[in-house]
Structure 1
Amino acid sequence: MPYISINSRVRLYYEEKGNGTPLLFIHPPGMGHVVFCRQKPLARDFRLILYDMRGNGRSSPSDGPITVPLLADDLSVLLRSLGIGRAIICGYSSGGSVALDFALRYPQHVKQLILIGGFPEVCTPLLWGEFWLGISAAKLRAIPLLSLALALGHGTNQRERRLLRRYAQMANKRDLEAAYRAGLVYRCTEQLSSLRLPVLLIYGARDRYIHFYITIFRRYVPHAGVVLIDQARHQIPTKHSEEMNLPHLCL
């Protein structure tokens, strides 16, 4: 299995396939790289890179407190270890916070930033509630229940649901709680105006509780492109992969 070492205690699991422009996906806490299983056809056009953040899936537990900048630094080490100077960085849901932090602090390594259902801060009641549900599930050791909810919400068939559920149960409970807490307090809204690189925002047309954040992005990043996927809610990578996997979206 391919791993890269962050240090002597933390290793990250990754998979890569294909050639061309590097395209890397960042998952939200608990889901691991398997949430992008339907993005693998993109390897026909890109050098596709999927990985598990520390504390998730096959990667090591964290050796210190998890923060969004720490996860972004891990990404920097991963790209450097793979010999990648610039890549398209795509973050899904709260994985978008890691993508944003990386783009803000390492813009020279980002060819394009893509956020799927992304947000620069948690400032709406429904999103705040979702984070606290994740924190509570991890704190109360209700990972089986959380994994079931994630699998049912994202899976499109029984096999996919089993895979997603099994992978979510591999998350380190302490790190999962810490990752949810880190995402809850992360805020980069005022820094967004410094983004000069290409930005693409992808949202589900029916994911209305997250649409408020489109307004924020349009204010601070007026050059960002916005794509609304018809009939989609939040779970775009699995449930609307055909629309999302159009190569022109990543150019």
Structure 2
Amino acid sequence: MGTGVRINYFDSGGDGSPVVILHGLAGSAREFFPTADALPDFRTILIDLRGHGRSTRSPSDLSRKAFVDDVVYVIKAVVGGPVTLVGQSMGGHTAMLVAAARSDLVTRLVLLETGPGSGTHTQNEAMGDFFRSWALPSRIVRLPARILAMVH
């Protein structure tokens, strides 16, 4: 990406209908490896959202627009057309924003444990400060070869 942010994704490959899955806050794409394994007839793309997983861990821009732009970029670059977009928790909120901004790229929207968001600006800022205070793990968990083969 042109912003200096690396967005990591896992692509199962194949000719099936594309399904893009977005994890929740403090999660990673790895949470959905069992889901991807259970969908052999689909091409699953699991995205590590910015600040998570193997994507850039401390990007300067953590705006909702930046998350949306990242997902749109991956969909266009990897699939090139419309997808079923699945989002869990924060990933669900991002998925709703992607569908609203780029309905041409989303044929179906699946939401898990999510909602449209709430809270005042002050409450949201306080929550952001809380999450920014978390220590980030410095080690990378060793992944099985079949999963590493999907990393781009």
TM-score normalised by structure 2 residue count: 0.76
Higher relative CO (CA 8 A, sep ≥ 6), structure 1 or 2? 2
Whose helix proportion is higher, 1 or 2? Answer: 1
Q: What displacement does 1:170 show? A: 5.4
Query: How far apart, CA to CA, are the structure 1 residues paired with 2:56 and 2:91?
Result: 18
Query: How far apart, CA to CA, are the structure 1 residues paired with 2:117 and 2:131?
Result: 21
Is residue 23 of structure 1 aligned with residue 19 of structure 2? Answer: yes
Q: Tell me the equivalent position of 1:60.
A: 56
1:55 aligned counterpart, secondary structure:
coil
Deviations 1:101-143 (A, max 9, x none): 00000001101000001100125xxxx79x84x742532x4x3
Is residue 86 of structure 1 aligned with residue 57 of structure 2? Answer: no
Contact (CA 8 Å) 1:58, 1:170: kept in 2 or not? no
Q: Tell me the equivalent position of 1:48.
A: 44
- The one-letter code sitting in structure 1 at the alignment partner of 2:16 is G
- The one-letter code sitting in structure 2 at the alignment partner of 1:169 is P
Q: What displacement does 1:86 show? A: 0.3
Gaps of 5+ in 1: 1-5, 144-167, 172-251
Query: How far apart, CA to CA, are the structure 2 residues paired with 1:71 and 1:137?
Result: 16
Aligned residues: 133
Gaps of 5+ in 2: 140-152
- The one-letter code sitting in structure 2 at the alignment partner of 1:105 is A
Q: What displacement does 1:8 show? A: 5.6
2:84 aligned counterpart, secondary structure:
strand
Identity over aligned pairs, percent: 26
1:49 aligned counterpart, secondary structure:
strand
Give the structure with higher Rg (CA). Answer: 1
- The one-letter code sitting in structure 2 at the alignment partner of 1:99 is A
Q: Tell me the equivalent position of 1:14.
A: 9
Contact (CA 8 Å) 1:10, 1:62: kept in 2 or not? no
| Aligned match for 2:100, one of 101, 104, 116 | 104
Deviations 1:168-205 (A, max 9, x none): 7359xxxxxxxxxxxxxxxxxxxxxxxxxxxxxxxxxx
Q: Tell me the equivalent position of 1:138.
A: 132
| Aligned match for 1:118, one of 114, 121, 138 | 114
Contact (CA 8 Å) 1:19, 1:44: kept in 2 or not? no
Contact (CA 8 Å) 1:72, 1:98: kept in 2 or not? yes
Contact (CA 8 Å) 2:88, 2:114: kept in 1 or not? yes
Query: How far apart, CA to CA, are the structure 2 residues paired with 1:21 and 1:92?
Result: 20
